[in-house]
Structure 1
Amino acid sequence: MRLDFALLLVALTALTGLIWLADRLFFAPRRAQRNGRVPAVVEYARSFFPVILAVLVFRSFLFEPFKIPSSSMMPTLLIGDFILVNKFAYGIRLPVTNTKIIPVGEPKRGDVAVFRYPVDPNVDYIKRIIGIPGDVISYRNKVVHVNGQEVPQEMLGRYVGERSSAEYTGYEELLERLPGAEHRILRRPDPRALNQLQDEFRVTVPEGHYFVLGDNRDNSQDSRYWRFVPEANLVGRASVIWWNWDSRDGMLEAVDFGRLGTIVR
């Protein structure tokens, strides 16, 4: 669980730092007078403290790596993509508590955001922000409306998937143009597949919350089911694909090198 790992990093940083500091202030001077050896625990603490501190700072305040486990954000993100998430895009937050201490930026429509799942904050989700506070969002016949305006969709053709994505071959691939942003989505072509729960509703996004959808519209658990993401649950904005590993293939075919370095839009 992500909270446990963050807590572990903080605890290890504090422990190794305290051991190193206590030795430097109290024990090292006495040891020097009698030419004593440095205890192994102090050697380990002194060696590991800067490394663990650097990992903690990088992961908590700059970028955190995530792996895409599902198909809900296809075609933008595929199963097996490893991404870096910009942790300061939506404000500098303390590790473990996720409390914002320095406001830096605000989420925008079209951002691909990582957040703590509102139903279970120990689980990370990734979706696209469709509605910001105050927006009126409606969804009819698989088309999004923002503040009464239909979001245009342009048909690009039939999606052709490979490896883990092959099961979505034949889906409709469309270009969706949100106000200020555009991105590709997938849509199941069978009109009988409409789910009434997610296909007919109208909501107003409350203050301090966001409405999110997966790009693979007919295969995503998102705000259509559990409504809004609180601002306090935001982790950061997906920025770049740094690795790809589709474990369903053989070793030589597992990596799609063409995806490495792709900016997430």
Structure 2
Amino acid sequence: MDEEKKREGGRDLYEWVQALVCSVLAVVVVFTFVIRLIGVDGHSMVPTLQDGDRLLVLNSMLYHDYQAGDIVVLRKSSFLDEPIVKRVIATEGQVVDIDFVTGSVYVDGILLKEDYINELTFTEEGMEFPLIVPEGSIFVMGDNRNHSNDSRDSRLGTVDTRYVIGKAVLLAFPGTDILTGKRDFGRIGVLA
């Protein structure tokens, strides 16, 4: 009887350890190939994102059909070593033009309605406009336009989509708001 209880206890322990190992492996696979947790570093996406926000990012292997308005994370080591978070403004074949006098951004001759920006676009960074976004590339900008290094900077320019890590789909944990100095947990959720 005691021998049978020991075998059952050993079997229960084995099954528990097996379930734990499988769970850990599943989490590792999901966070390696499906989604990533990436932090926002800086204020270039204010007011949409704050410094220190943590984003769930859908891996570019699964999502690579980027659309205007998508928030993406990319890394181009010739520009910056760390990943950067920006908003897609235009995709391949589209014409981007910026009037730095009025602060207006046009895509294919249409003025963008940008409710998400912090301020109009007055800062030039070296790119010549109008420009056509090349095949397989995107044009990205920060929402805090005059405090963002983005596709207006000739060192970054239009971004080959192979440099995109993925699309941000969820604000998982808020950073500290620069105005209030507090975390706004009400911001957690799907990104617009």
TM bucket, shorter chain: 0.7 to 0.9
User: Retained in 2: the 8 A contact 1:114–1:124?
Assistant: yes
1:151–1:107 Cα change, 3 Å? same
Counterpart in the other structure of 2:174: 244
1:79-118 equivalences in 2 (<5 Å): 79-87=51-59, 90-92=60-62, 105-117=64-76
1:30-179 equivalences in 2 (<5 Å): 50=22, 53-87=25-59, 90-92=60-62, 105-117=64-76, 119-120=78-79, 122-141=81-100, 142-152=103-113, 176=114
C-alpha separation in 2, matches of 1:121 and 1:60: 22
1:80–1:119 Cα change, 3 Å? same
Where is the helix percentage greater, Structure 1 or Structure 2?
Answer: 1
Aligned counterpart in structure 2 of residue 228 of structure 1, from 158, 161, 172? 158
C-alpha separation in 1, matches of 2:81 and 2:19: 31
Report which of the two structures shows the higher radius of gyration computed on alpha carbons: 1
Looking at both structures, which has the greater relative contact order when contacts are Cα pairs under 8 Å and sequence separation is at least 6?
Answer: 2
SS in 2 for 1:185: coil
1:248–1:111 Cα change, 3 Å? closer
Q: Map Cα deviations across residues 99-129 of structure 1 (whole Å, 9 max, x no partner).
A: xxxxx55001110111113525742111000
1:196–1:239 Cα change, 3 Å? closer
Count how many residue pairs are aligned between Structure 1 and Structure 2. Answer: 170
5+ residue gaps in structure 1?
1-45, 93-103, 153-175, 177-182
Find out whether 1:264 has 2:191 as its counterpart: yes
Q: Map Cα deviations across residues 164-184 of structure 1 (whole Å, 9 max, x no partner).
A: xxxxxxxxxxxx1xxxxxx41
Report the TM-score when normalising by structure 1: 0.56
C-alpha separation in 1, matches of 2:124 and 2:58: 35
Q: Percent identity over the alignment?
A: 31
Note the aligned Cα RMSD (angstroms). Answer: 2.9
Report the TM-score when normalising by structure 2: 0.75
C-alpha separation in 1, matches of 2:149 and 2:124: 14
5+ residue gaps in structure 2?
1-17
Q: Map Cα deviations across residues 120-166 of structure 1 (whole Å, 9 max, x no partner).
A: 574211100011000111111321111122224xxxxxxxxxxxxxx
**Cα displacement (A) at 1:257:** 1.9
The letter of the residue matching 2:48 is: T
C-alpha separation in 2, matches of 1:121 and 1:52: 33
